[in-house]
């Protein structure tokens, strides 16, 4: 038997903080050594953080990240480490350094560069054209980087045919709903098709609008899950892999026998390492419990709440955005409505109650129950709540503007003045105390432009900007199932901006169930008006929604960045021109 103890260091890096990231990598290498791990991997661009964007256009940044790589090399006595970094070799490459026993034995360049959705890698990197098999004293393995494993054929199949017992894939694969399971199932297919063991290392942490979920895994050559990392948390996982299973599996199945033969004209280069891996004197794998009959073992059924994953992504997104940008506390306007209630709850879960300040800003239109609901929420969350009424300020505005507005009727202008007064107050508090202002608008409102520029859109980070209104309610119910902090009335009352008497959201918007259905088809799936109507939606309603989505692009491009939880979030994931006459 030939066993390898293979490990994955699932770490949370910070873009541009080369010293911090390097110290983190070294810390996990030392931890891996204590666990007798033979081979340990780190995420894509682990030294620079991901995505570094235009930092990659700075030659000094590239050189500085390469210097840090050599700090790491000195820590690898007796172990193999695969570390992501930016490599300058005539051009700039997204690369993985393969280090064995204090020597870089090879550098694998990323071959398939994604240039869709939130990815823009062809702007910065040149694509690699060849791949390697690294032959060491403990394992023969290939390395690939993120997108390379998503593509069938080269390089994974070629590495397998060239004799690799294991493929290491280092990734920075951002989260959206359903992505972790989809990613894992894809990799199970890839390992089964190529009859090869796989270490898939995914980054964890928040970076601006992106959240990386981690959830790294080790998969055996027949598609069996051997180990799995935590969701949205740092982790160090490992598994003792029987490398002889690869050859046994290929011999057993005639369909896989062709994988035993290296193809002609292969782009696979063999690298032989002279390094020595420190082997444990202990048995690398514990004995099986022979009293358990493998034919009778029941599959564990774990019931998961589908909203738990999304909620955790939002919490991590807030925590990392605040921490990595040097803030300690946040301020939130509390209206008593569901959006501000959920935003405040996420903030408390991310930062702690002492680091969240709520501000209630009632007007002459605010209902008594809204004021009470804001107060109850603050009490349940144990956060400080300041009350700053805005009516006198509003009156002063109206009186000041009355000469300019004479002979006009009151309309949405006066409503938006209230929102802008509130935005001004919140920004003043943010400015005075150095708190980050969290905006509370959801994706449904932002899609329709149902928000006030420099009013409720004012702020530094938009927690719910990619969360449709219907999902806001489900996330709130999920969080209340853990502990009921959001007032029940906030969940059940009809949503209202409360900028005019008896106002309801449905005065301006379709029912949210209808609206979110149309938005999903138009924004996420790029369906046309004809296709949406053919699916059963009212044409007048659908056309009105589409016109408002298109007509409010100028607002969205001035909005605060928010957390991406869908495949197509506004911002880097959906790039529509502001000046645009096309409708449909």
In a domain, residue 293? The reply is no
Residue 47 falls within a domain, yes or no? yes
Judged on CB neighbours under 10 Å (0-12, 13-18, 19+), 344 is buried
Domain shared by 334 and 256, yes or no:
no
Q: Is 509 left (phi over 0), alpha (psi -120 to 50) or beta?
A: beta
Binding site: which residues? 116, 173, 179, 333-340, 416, 440, 445, 555
* Residue for token pair 């509370």: 440
Whether residues 209 and 91 fall in one domain: yes
DSSP string for residues in 451-493 = S-TTTTT-SSEETTTTS-HHHHHHHHHHHHHHS--S-HHHHHS
Task: State whether 51 and 174 are in the same domain.
Answer: yes
pLDDT at res. 314:
98
Co-location of 416 and 320 in the same domain: yes
Please report which helix (H) or strand (E) contains residue 134, including its range.
strand 131-135
The residue from 110, 215, 324, 527 that is catalytic is: 110
- Which residues pair with residue 438 across a beta bridge? 461
What CATH number has the domain bearing residue 52? 3.60.110.10
Give first-to-last CA distance, the chain, whole Å.
63
* Contact criterion met (CB below 8 Å) for 452 and 551: no
Same domain, yes or no, for 326 and 445?
Answer: yes
- Provide φ and ψ at 63, rounded to 5°: -65, -40
Angle at which helix 391-401 crosses helix 412-433, to 10 degrees, equals 120
In whole angstroms, how far apart are CA 129 and each of 57, 82, 111, 148?
22, 19, 6, 12
Q: What does R_g of the chain's alpha carbons equal in angstroms?
A: 27
Nearest-10 crossing angle of helices 469-482, 512-519: 110
Out of 24, 146, 187, 376, the active site residue is: 146
**Distance of alpha carbon 572 from alpha carbon 466, whole angstroms:** 12
Q: How far is CA 556 from its chain centroid?
A: 20
Residue 176 CB coordination number (10 Å): 22
Say how far apart CA 486 and CA 471 lie, in whole Å: 15
Instruction: Assess whether 7 and 100 both reside in one domain.
Output: yes
Q: Name the DSSP letter for residue 499.
A: S
Q: What is the pLDDT of residue 296?
A: 60
- Out of 257, 277, 297, a domain closes at 277
Task: Give binding residues for ATP as ranges.
Answer: 333-340, 440
Which of 505, 522, 557 lies at the terminal end of a domain, its last residue? 505
Q: Return the DSSP state at 163.
A: T
Which pair of tokens denotes residue 370? 């809204």
Q: Which strands, in side-by-side order, build the sheet including 268-272?
A: 225-228, 217-219, 197-202, 166-171, 140-145, 131-135, 268-272
Residue 541 lies in a domain: no
Residues that constitute the known binding site for L-glutamine: 116, 173, 179
Residues 385 and 428 in one domain: yes
295 is a domain residue: no
Strands 3-10 and 235-242: antiparallel
CA distances from 375 to 422, 455, 499 (A): 17, 22, 20
Phi, psi at 59, each rounded to 5° = -65, -35
Residues in the chain: 584
Q: Are residues 253 and 325 in the same domain?
A: no
DSSP 8-state assignment for residue 300: P
226 found inside a domain: yes
Domains in the chain, number: 2
128, exposed or middle or buried, with CB in 10 Å at 0-12, 13-18, 19+? buried
Residue appearing with tokens 């193809």? 263
Instruction: Give the per-residue pLDDT at 530.
Output: 94
Asked if residue 584 is part of any domain, the answer here is no
Those residues whose C-beta lies under 8 Å from the C-beta of residue 515, and which sit 6 or more positions away, are 444, 448, 469, 509, 545
Q: Is 228 a catalytic residue?
A: no
d(CA 548, CA 546): 5
Apex 119 CA angle, 117 and 122, nearest 5: 125
Full residue range of the structural domain in which residue 157 is found: 3-277
210 bridge partner residues:
207
What is the mean pLDDT for each group of 10 consecutive residues in the chain (584 residues)?
A: 92 97 98 96 98 96 97 95 96 96 96 90 93 92 94 89 92 94 93 92 96 96 93 96 86 64 71 79 56 59 78 97 97 95 98 97 82 94 96 93 91 91 96 97 94 94 96 96 94 76 78 93 94 94 94 94 94 88 82
Backbone angles phi, psi at 243, to 5 degrees: -70, -20
Tell me which of 476, 505, 534 is where a domain ends: 505
Question: Which CATH number characterizes residue 456's domain?
Answer: 3.40.50.620
Same domain, 333 and 210: no
Tell me if residue 110 is catalytic: yes
Residue 547 maps to a domain: no
SS3 call for 137: coil
Helical H runs in 81-219?
A: 147-150, 156-161, 179-194
Residues 262 and 331 in one domain: no
Alpha helices in 391-441 (DSSP H): 391-401, 412-433
Q: Assess whether 340 and 432 both reside in one domain.
A: yes
**Structure confidence at residue 302 (pLDDT):** 58
pLDDT, position 261: 60
Q: Do 60 and 196 reside in the same domain of the chain?
A: yes
> Is 373 within the bounds of a domain?
yes
Q: How many helices (H) and strands (E) does the chain have?
A: 18, 20
Bridging pattern class, strands 166-171 and 104-109: unpaired
């Amino acid at each position: 038997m030939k066993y390898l103890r293979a490990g994955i260091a699932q770490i949370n890096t910070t873009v541009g903080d080369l010293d911090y990231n390097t110290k983190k990598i070294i810390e996990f290498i030392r931890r891996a050594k204590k666990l007798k791990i033979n081979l340990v991997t780190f995420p894509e661009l682990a030294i620079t953080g991901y995505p570094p964007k235009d930092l990659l256009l700075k030659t000094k940044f590239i050189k500085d990240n390469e210097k840090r790589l050599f700090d790491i090399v000195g820590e690898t006595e007796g172990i193999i480490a695969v570390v992501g970094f930016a490599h300058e070799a005539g051009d700039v490459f997204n690369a993985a350094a393969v280090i064995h026993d204090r020597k870089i034995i090879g550098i694998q360049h990323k071959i398939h560069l994604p240039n869709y959705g939130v990815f823009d890698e062809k702007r910065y990197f040149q694509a690699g054209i060849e791949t390697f098999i690294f032959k060491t004293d403990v394992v023969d393995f290939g390395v690939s980087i993120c997108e390379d494993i998503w593509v069938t054929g080269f390089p994974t199949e070629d590495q397998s045919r060239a004799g690799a017992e294991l493929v290491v894939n280092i990734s920075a694969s951002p989260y959206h709903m359903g992505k972790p399971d989809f990613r894992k199932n894809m990799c199970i297919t890839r390992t089964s098709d190529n009859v090869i063991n796989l270490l898939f290392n995914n980054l964890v942490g928040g970076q601006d609008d992106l959240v990386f979920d981690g959830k790294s895994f080790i998969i055996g050559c027949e598609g069996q899950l051997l180990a799995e990392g935590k969701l949205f948390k740092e982790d160090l996982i490992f598994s003792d892999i029987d490398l002889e299973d690869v050859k046994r599996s290929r011999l057993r199945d005639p369909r896989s026998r062709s994988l035993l033969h290296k193809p002609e004209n292969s782009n696979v280069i063999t690298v032989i390492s002279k390094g020595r891996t420190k082997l444990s004197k202990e048995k690398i794998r514990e004995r099986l419990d022979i009293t358990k009959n493998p034919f009778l073992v029941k599959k564990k059924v774990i019931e998961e709440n589908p909203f738990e994953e999304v909620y955790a992504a939002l919490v991590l997104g807030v925590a990392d955005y605040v921490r990595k940008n040097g803030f300690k506390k946040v301020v939130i306007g509390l209206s008593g409505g569901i959006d501000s209630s959920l935003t405040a709850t996420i903030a408390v879960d991310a930062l702690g109650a002492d680091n969240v300040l709520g501000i209630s800003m009632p007007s002459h239109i605010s209902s008594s129950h809204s004021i009470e609901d804001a107060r109850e929420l603050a009490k349940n969350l144990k956060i400080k709540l300041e009350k700053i009424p805005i009516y006198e300020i509003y009156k002063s505005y109206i009186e000041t503007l009355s000469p300019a507005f004479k002979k006009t009727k009151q309309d949405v202008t006066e409503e938006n003045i209230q929102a802008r007064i509130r935005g001004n107050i919140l920004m003043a508090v943010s400015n005075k105390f150095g708190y980050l202002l969290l905006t509370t608008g959801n994706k449904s409102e932002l899609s329709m432009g149902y928000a006030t520029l420099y009013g409720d859109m004012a702020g530094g980070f938009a927690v719910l900007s990619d969360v449709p209104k219907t999902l806001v309610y489900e996330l709130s119910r999920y969080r209340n199932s853990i502990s009921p902090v959001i007032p029940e009335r906030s969940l059940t009352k009809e949503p209202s901006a409360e900028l005019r008497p008896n106002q309801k959201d449905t005065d301006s918007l379709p029912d949210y169930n209808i609206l979110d259905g149309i938005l999903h088809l138009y924004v996420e799936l790029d369906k046309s008006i004809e296709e949406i109507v053919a699916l059963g939606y009212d044409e007048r309603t659908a056309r009105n929604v589409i016109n408002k989505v298109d007509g409010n692009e100028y607002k969205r491009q001035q909005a605060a960045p928010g957390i991406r939880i869908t495949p197509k979030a506004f911002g880097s994931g959906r790039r529509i021109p502001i000046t645009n006459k096309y409708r449909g």
